[in-house]
Amino acid sequence: MVAAVDTGPLIDLQGLEVRYGKRVALDQLTATVPGGSIGLLGPNGAGKSTLIKTLLGLIPIHGGRAKLLGRDVQREARVLRRSIGYMPEREAAFPGMTGFQATWYAGRLSGLPDADARRRAHEVLLFAGLEEERYRDVGTYSTGMRQRVKLAQALVHDPDLIFLDEPTNGLDPQGRSEMLALIGTLTRDRGIHVVLSTHLLKDVEEVCDAVVVVNGGRIVRNERIEELTRAFADARWIQLDGDMQAFVAALGERGLEVIERKGAHCEVRLRVEGETAPGFEAAAATGSVVRALRPVRLSLEEALIDVLGGEAA
Amino acid sequence: MALHDRSYKRWHGDRSLPVTTIPIIAAAGIRAATTAFFKRKIPAVLLTLMSFSMFLFGMVFIFLRYYVQTNMEVLPEEFVEGILGEEVTTFTSASGLTIFFYLANLQVVFAGLACLLMGSGQIANDRRTNALEMYLSRPVTAWHYVVGKFGAVGFFVALVTVFPAVMLVVAQLLVSFGDANEVARLLDLAWRTVAAGAVLAAVPTLLMLTASSLAQKARNAAILWFGFLFLTDVVIAQSLIDAFGDDRFLLFSIAFNIRQVMAWFLQPPVEYLGDIAPDVLAGVPVAWSALALGALVAVCLVILLRRVRPVEVVG
């Protein structure tokens, strides 16, 4: 495993404000996001793509400042873009070029010398899984191949950070799985920071360590996934071997609340955080055995609904 | 077993080297337009030959005259008279008049065709395929992009205008050594040819790029470009002149303004100019034409820089 490039915080936002005309798209964002693989989440129109495009220097900033890899995104945009890869959400291709030509051209535009751009274009196209197809016109590619060539173009100049906007859009399950594996390789084995914007929470769970949740142009959560999904510090999930009904009754006698019960599993709220002894006593009293006991975690989807629901309220 | 190593490899090159994206964009534009043009081989070859036919004729005649001048004693008198006769010489030696006639009357058609065929898709196709987002998320600014595309289209227009015109002057120069006055005259003509050719190449090119930035299909950009030239030249300028009888309305004609500025650079003799470009003798000061072209260029640049954006911002 290779450590990600250390440049301090990956993203540093101080009162960042972006407007489209009179409409505020990003509202006074202040956040420090460490490196690694970050999932950018939020409902449609929350400001995810606007945030990515602002960080790429494609959209002007109306207030505050934003730094990426320690550099100001407006004043040092050209320098910064040599270290950043971007895979846009919508279809985007240099017209009339083959996969190889388009990737080589992307490398040249990013500052690679001609020979390096050619070698890198072949390397990243092979990495992305386009072998013979690299000599075909991109216009004849399937959706999956277009996503792959976009990934290759984003990687050709070997960026330190790559923005992926809905990279699994339109892919079949196998294609999606392969794309996530490629992204996982980049972040886990090659130390490239990844910012993954997607609606598919499974993708984020599979690839990312942390999430930034955007809603209504504001960042409402910026934390590691395990922190976001650790919903109840005082709750435990129990797998029981024995009479569940009697066990539940015994828990009640000891002042423990059963939150949810499903077959041989139940979720129990403890009286005091960390005090699990009454649970074992209840099992012993009913002649049951506790096979497993662990903290209750929400799925990312439940956590996100919780976060966004709370925001809406 | 995979034939190739498919793992991701890091690049260890130097990121601090300067990025020169303009020639890269221009070269890609030239390559893309050439590939598209030669998809239909026979018309493409015929059109290419036609666009250089007068240039080839001029070259042959310059060297033929040189041959006749140096071998007068051994050649038949009628032949010598035919090649060196005053009427022929006026239009076939490199002079301000012949260069003006060559550029403004003969090659202007091919300059227009080069704009239409090579320039109409340059930005329109990029807009249609969302390539602008790919360009501008790299170390490429809108200026780099526009200048690169201008270089691509300008290359083709210059190829059928400035390049052959300058080569005619150079050919004349080659056969004029030994005559200091003639060499001095031709060197003066050379820069005037470049300047006049640059006006002829630059203005329609910029106009075509602007039309291309306003469309998402090459065909629509071509219609827009041609329509704008037709509208300004025939509909507006000519109608106003007919209605008010005032030649100053020629200022609305882009073609007139270009010819007027080219004539100022090349200074063709007035007695011949009336035969080949009577409109240039109209009572419109050349400075006004230059200003009109400057204003057009400024408007084109403003439109281009507004259209070349990675994100369509709706207020």
Q: For residues A179 and A260, which has the higher predicted lDDT (pLDDT)?
A: A179
| Residue A313 confidence class, pLDDT cut points 50, 70, 90 | very low
Which value does ipTM take for this structure? 0.88
- Cβ(A189)–Cβ(B9) under 8 Å? no
Structural domain total, chain B: 1
Q: Which residue has the higher pLDDT, B50 or A301?
A: B50
- Residue A137 is classified by DSSP as B
A48 vs chain B: nearest CA distance in angstroms? Answer: 14
The whole-number pLDDT of residue B4 equals: 66
* Amino acid occupying residue B242: D
Domain membership flag for residue B66 = no
Distance, in Å, from the CA atom of A218 to the CA atom of B47, rounded to the nearest integer, reads 59
> Is B234 within the bounds of a domain?
yes
Q: List the structure tokens of A93.
A: 């291709």
pLDDT at A6 over 70: no
Q: Closest partner residue to B131 among A93, A120, A124, by Cβ?
A: A93
3-state secondary structure of A252: helix
Which one of A69, A97, A108 makes the best mutation probe of the B interface by having the most chain B beta carbons within 10 Å? Answer: A108
B253 occurs within a structural domain: yes
| Amino acid at residue number A8 | G
Q: Mean of the pLDDT values across residues B207-232?
A: 95
pLDDT of residue B315: 39
Could you say which of A56, A83, A97 has the minimum Cβ distance to residue B137? A56
Q: Please give the average per-residue pLDDT across B93-97, as a whole number.
A: 82
Share of chain A above pLDDT 70, in %: 96
Confidence (pLDDT) at A232: 65
Q: Helices B180-213 and B286-307, interaxial angle, to 10°?
A: 40
**Count of domains for chain A:** 2
C-alpha distances (whole Å) from B140 to each of A98, A104, A105, B135, B175 are: 21, 16, 12, 6, 46
Please indicate, yes or no, whether residues A6 and A34 belong to a single structural domain of this protein. Answer: yes
pLDDT of B210-222, one tens digit each?
Answer: 999 999 999 999 9
Domain check: are A163 and A290 in the same one?
no
pLDDT tens digits, A130-150:
988 999 999 999 999 999 999
Based on the domain organization, do A73 and A176 belong to the same domain?
yes
Task: Pick the closest to residue B252 from B283, B231, B282 (CA basis).
Answer: B231
Q: Are residues A250 and A307 in the same domain?
A: no
Chain B residues with CB under 8 Å of A111 CB are: 15, 17, 19, 139
Whole-model pTM: value is: 0.86
Q: What is the pLDDT of residues B245-304, one digit of tens each?
A: 888 899 999 999 999 999 999 998 888 888 888 888 888 899 999 999 999 999 999 999
Residues in A touching B314 (Cβ below 8 Å): 20-21
In a domain, A122, yes or no: no
Q: pLDDT, tens digit, for every residue of A193-239?
A: 999 998 888 899 889 999 999 988 899 889 888 888 776 667 888 99
Q: What is the mean pLDDT of residues B3-16?
A: 79
C-alpha to C-alpha distance for B176 and A126, rounded to whole angstroms: 60
> What residues make up the domain containing A168?
1-83+159-231+299-313
A190 touches chain B (CB under 8 A): yes
Chain A: give the shortest CA distance to residue B26, in Å: 12
Name every chain A residue with its beta carbon within 8 A of the beta carbon of B135.
109
Let me know if residue A60 belongs to a domain.
yes
User: Which percentage of chain A shows pLDDT scores above 90?
Assistant: 52
pLDDT of residue B313: 52
For B35, name the nearest residue in chain A, comparing CA atoms only.
A96
Contacts of B28 in chain A (CB under 8 A): 94, 105
Q: Please give the pLDDT value at position A46.
A: 86
Please answer yes or no on whether A20 and B35 come within 8 Å at the CB atom.
no
Give a yes or no: residue B112 inside a domain: yes
- Asked, for residue A127, whether it belongs to a domain, the answer is no
User: Is residue A93 included in any domain, yes or no?
Assistant: no
Residue B8 has pLDDT above 90, yes or no: no
Sign of the CA dihedral with B184 first, then B185, B188, and B193 last: negative
Mutate to test the interface with A, among B11, B127, B145, B216 (most CBs of A within 10 A): B11
Closest CA to A40 of A97, A87, A92: A87
Decide if A149 is inside a domain. no
Q: Is A153 in CB contact (< 8 Å) with chain B?
A: yes
A153 found inside a domain: no
Q: Per the domain annotation, does B71 fall within a domain?
A: no
Q: What percent of chain B has a predicted confidence (pLDDT) above 70?
A: 95
Instruction: Work out the pLDDT band at B33, boundaries 50, 70, 90.
Output: very high
Q: Are residues A67 and A183 in the same domain?
A: yes
Task: Give yes or no for residue B90 having a pLDDT over 80.
Answer: no
Whether residue B115 is contained in a domain is answered as: yes
In whole angstroms, give the CA distance from residue B136 to residue A107: 13
Q: What pLDDT is stored for residue A226 in this prediction?
A: 82
Tens of pLDDT, residue by residue over A156-197, are 999 999 999 999 988 889 989 999 999 998 988 888 999 999
* Confidence tier at A5 by pLDDT (50, 70, 90): very low
Q: Give the pLDDT confidence score for residue B93 in this predicted structure.
A: 72
- Identity of the amino acid at B110: F
Does pLDDT of B25 surpass 60?
Answer: yes
Band (pLDDT 50/70/90 cuts) for residue B86 is: low
H or E element: which one contains A106?
Answer: helix A99-109
Please answer yes or no on whether B314 and A131 come within 8 Å at the CB atom.
no
Using the predicted structure, report yes or no on whether residue B91 has a pLDDT greater than 80.
no
- CATH assignment of the domain containing A76: 3.40.50.300
pLDDT tens, B113-147? Answer: 999 999 999 999 999 999 999 999 999 999 999 99
Interface of A with B in 20-59 (CB under 8 A): 20-22, 53, 56, 58-59
Instruction: Report whether A107 contacts A157 (CB < 8 A).
Output: yes
Domain holding B36, by residue range, is: 21-51+94-307
Chain A residues whose beta carbon lies within 8 Å of the beta carbon of residue B305: none
Nearest to B315 by CA among A225, A286, A25, A200: A25
Do A7 and A78 fall within a single domain? Answer: yes
Give the pLDDT score at A1: 42
B15–A82 CB contact, under 8 Å: yes
Q: Is residue A101 part of a domain?
A: no
Same domain, A69 and A8: yes
User: Token digits for B15?
Assistant: 């990121």
Residue predicted with more confidence, A8 or A73: A73
How high is the pLDDT of residue A2?
Answer: 44
Nearest by CB: A109 against B5, B128, B135: B135
Q: What is the mean pLDDT of residues A294-299?
A: 79
Q: Residues A306, A225: one domain?
A: yes
Q: Confirm if A164 and A52 have CB atoms less than 8 A apart.
A: no
Among partner residues B135, B139, B315, which is closest to A21 by beta-carbon distance? B315
- Judge if A190 and A270 occupy the same domain: no
pLDDT at residue number B63:
87
Given this model, what pLDDT does residue B160 score?
95
Mean pLDDT value across residues B59-86: 83
Task: Band the pLDDT of A272: cuts 50, 70, 90.
Answer: confident
Distance separating alpha carbons of residues A150 and B117, to the nearest angstrom:
29
In a domain, B187, yes or no: yes
| B1 has pLDDT over 50 | no
Q: Within a domain: residue A196?
A: yes
Residue B81 lies in a domain: no
Q: To the nearest whole number, what is the mean pLDDT of chain A?
A: 88
